[in-house]
Amino acid sequence: MDRIAQELKIHQLANHKNVIQYKGHFFDTEGNLCIKLEKMTKTLETRIGEEAKTGEHFPEWKLWFYFIQLVRGVYYLNMANIIHMDIKADNILINDKTKELKLSDFGTSKKFEEGDPSICLPGTGLATPLTASPEMLSGKGFGRRNDTWALGCILY
Protein backbone atom coordinates (compact mmCIF):
# COMPACT_ATOMS: atom_id res chain seq x y z
CA MET A 1 0.00 0.00 0.00
CA ASP A 2 1.46 3.40 -0.88
CA ARG A 3 2.11 6.02 1.75
CA ILE A 4 -0.89 8.23 0.95
CA ALA A 5 -3.30 5.27 1.02
CA GLN A 6 -1.75 4.15 4.32
CA GLU A 7 -2.15 7.67 5.79
CA LEU A 8 -5.80 7.82 4.72
CA LYS A 9 -6.52 4.32 6.04
CA ILE A 10 -5.05 5.18 9.46
CA HIS A 11 -7.10 8.42 9.67
CA GLN A 12 -10.24 6.45 8.84
CA LEU A 13 -9.50 3.73 11.39
CA ALA A 14 -8.39 5.86 14.34
CA ASN A 15 -11.13 6.87 16.72
CA HIS A 16 -9.91 8.26 20.02
CA LYS A 17 -10.27 11.63 21.73
CA ASN A 18 -6.48 12.14 21.72
CA VAL A 19 -6.05 11.37 18.03
CA ILE A 20 -7.08 13.90 15.37
CA GLN A 21 -10.56 13.15 14.02
CA TYR A 22 -10.97 12.33 10.33
CA LYS A 23 -13.89 14.19 8.69
CA GLY A 24 -13.71 12.91 5.14
CA HIS A 25 -11.61 13.32 2.02
CA PHE A 26 -11.84 14.51 -1.57
CA PHE A 27 -9.66 14.95 -4.65
CA ASP A 28 -8.90 18.47 -5.86
CA THR A 29 -8.98 19.54 -9.53
CA GLU A 30 -5.38 18.34 -9.97
CA GLY A 31 -6.20 14.94 -8.52
CA ASN A 32 -4.44 15.53 -5.18
CA LEU A 33 -5.95 13.76 -2.20
CA CYS A 34 -7.18 16.21 0.45
CA ILE A 35 -7.97 14.87 3.93
CA LYS A 36 -10.47 16.85 6.04
CA LEU A 37 -9.68 16.87 9.77
CA GLU A 38 -11.20 18.50 12.81
CA LYS A 39 -9.79 22.01 13.33
CA MET A 40 -7.32 22.54 16.13
CA THR A 41 -5.79 25.82 17.32
CA LYS A 42 -2.04 25.27 17.19
CA THR A 43 0.78 22.77 17.50
CA LEU A 44 2.45 21.91 20.79
CA GLU A 45 5.64 23.30 19.20
CA THR A 46 3.98 26.73 18.82
CA ARG A 47 2.56 26.51 22.34
CA ILE A 48 5.99 25.81 23.85
CA GLY A 49 7.42 28.72 21.79
CA GLU A 50 4.78 31.10 23.16
CA GLU A 51 5.61 30.16 26.74
CA ALA A 52 9.33 30.55 26.03
CA LYS A 53 8.76 34.10 24.68
CA THR A 54 7.10 35.21 27.90
CA GLY A 55 10.08 33.82 29.80
CA GLU A 56 7.76 31.45 31.62
CA HIS A 57 8.11 27.70 31.47
CA PHE A 58 5.40 25.08 31.53
CA PRO A 59 4.35 24.59 35.15
CA GLU A 60 4.63 20.92 36.09
CA TRP A 61 0.86 20.38 36.37
CA LYS A 62 0.38 21.63 32.80
CA LEU A 63 3.16 19.39 31.52
CA TRP A 64 1.47 16.29 33.00
CA PHE A 65 -1.94 17.52 31.85
CA TYR A 66 -0.78 17.50 28.21
CA PHE A 67 1.56 14.52 28.51
CA ILE A 68 -1.12 12.20 29.90
CA GLN A 69 -3.35 13.00 26.90
CA LEU A 70 -0.42 12.32 24.57
CA VAL A 71 0.31 8.95 26.20
CA ARG A 72 -3.39 8.00 25.91
CA GLY A 73 -3.35 8.79 22.18
CA VAL A 74 -0.12 6.86 21.55
CA TYR A 75 -1.31 3.90 23.66
CA TYR A 76 -4.54 3.75 21.68
CA LEU A 77 -2.68 3.78 18.35
CA ASN A 78 -0.15 1.19 19.44
CA MET A 79 -2.89 -1.13 20.74
CA ALA A 80 -4.56 -0.78 17.33
CA ASN A 81 -1.27 -1.93 15.73
CA ILE A 82 -0.53 1.55 14.40
CA ILE A 83 2.97 2.90 14.85
CA HIS A 84 3.13 6.66 14.38
CA MET A 85 6.90 6.85 13.77
CA ASP A 86 7.18 10.65 13.79
CA ILE A 87 5.91 11.81 17.15
CA LYS A 88 7.22 15.33 17.79
CA ALA A 89 5.81 18.62 19.11
CA ASP A 90 5.04 19.79 15.55
CA ASN A 91 2.77 16.78 14.94
CA ILE A 92 0.83 17.27 18.18
CA LEU A 93 -2.15 19.63 18.00
CA ILE A 94 -3.82 21.58 20.77
CA ASN A 95 -7.24 23.13 21.10
CA ASP A 96 -6.83 26.30 23.20
CA LYS A 97 -10.52 26.40 24.07
CA THR A 98 -11.11 22.81 25.17
CA LYS A 99 -7.46 22.25 26.24
CA GLU A 100 -7.49 18.97 24.34
CA LEU A 101 -4.34 17.51 22.85
CA LYS A 102 -4.43 15.31 19.75
CA LEU A 103 -1.82 13.37 17.86
CA SER A 104 -1.72 14.09 14.14
CA ASP A 105 0.21 13.60 10.88
CA PHE A 106 0.19 9.94 9.88
CA GLY A 107 2.34 10.64 6.82
CA THR A 108 5.04 8.20 7.98
CA SER A 109 2.84 5.92 10.11
CA LYS A 110 2.24 2.25 9.54
CA LYS A 111 -0.61 -0.11 10.36
CA PHE A 112 0.47 -3.67 11.01
CA GLU A 113 -1.51 -6.84 10.98
CA GLU A 114 -1.10 -8.92 14.15
CA GLY A 115 2.12 -10.96 13.92
CA ASP A 116 3.35 -9.08 10.83
CA PRO A 117 7.09 -9.85 10.66
CA SER A 118 7.82 -6.49 8.96
CA ILE A 119 7.23 -4.83 12.34
CA CYS A 120 10.93 -5.40 13.03
CA LEU A 121 12.36 -5.02 9.54
CA PRO A 122 15.66 -3.20 9.67
CA GLY A 123 16.21 -0.01 7.74
CA THR A 124 12.55 0.70 7.06
CA GLY A 125 11.98 3.44 9.61
CA LEU A 126 11.72 7.14 8.78
CA ALA A 127 11.57 9.84 11.41
CA THR A 128 12.76 13.24 12.56
CA PRO A 129 16.31 12.73 13.94
CA LEU A 130 15.67 14.63 17.21
CA THR A 131 12.99 12.20 18.33
CA ALA A 132 14.12 9.05 16.48
CA SER A 133 15.27 6.14 18.62
CA PRO A 134 18.87 4.81 18.40
CA GLU A 135 17.56 1.59 16.77
CA MET A 136 15.79 3.57 14.09
CA LEU A 137 18.81 5.80 13.43
CA SER A 138 21.18 2.83 13.18
CA GLY A 139 18.83 1.07 10.76
CA LYS A 140 18.07 -1.82 13.15
CA GLY A 141 14.35 -1.55 12.62
CA PHE A 142 11.37 -0.13 14.36
CA GLY A 143 8.35 -1.06 16.42
CA ARG A 144 6.03 0.29 19.08
CA ARG A 145 9.06 1.12 21.21
CA ASN A 146 10.07 3.87 18.77
CA ASP A 147 6.92 5.80 19.67
CA THR A 148 7.68 5.31 23.37
CA TRP A 149 11.19 6.69 22.85
CA ALA A 150 9.74 9.80 21.17
CA LEU A 151 7.40 10.31 24.17
CA GLY A 152 10.46 10.47 26.41
CA CYS A 153 12.11 13.05 24.12
CA ILE A 154 9.00 15.25 24.19
CA LEU A 155 8.66 15.02 27.97
CA TYR A 156 12.31 16.04 28.34
Ligand X SMILES: Nc1ncnc2c1ncn2[C@@H]1O[C@H](COP(=O)(O)OP(=O)(O)O)[C@@H](O)[C@H]1O
User: What residues act catalytically?
Assistant: 86
Smallest separation, CB 127 to Mg ion (Å): 11
Q: Is 19 exposed, middle or buried (0-12, 13-18, 19+ CB in 10 A)?
A: buried
Residue 21 binds ligand X, judged by CB under 6 A? no
The binder of ligand X chosen from 18, 69, 104, 133 (CB under 6 A): 104
Which residue, 9 or 140, is less far from ligand X as judged by CB? 9
Cβ proximity to Mg ion, 36 vs 57, nearer residue = 36
Interface residue with ligand X among 37, 80, 153, 154 (CB under 6 A) is 37
CA distance 46 to 13: 28
What SS3 class is residue 56? coil
Among 74, 105, 136, 146, binds ligand X (CB under 6 A): 105
Q: 39 is in the binding site of which of ligand X, Mg ion, none (Cβ under 5 to 8 A by kind)?
A: ligand X
DSSP letter (8 states) at residue 27: E
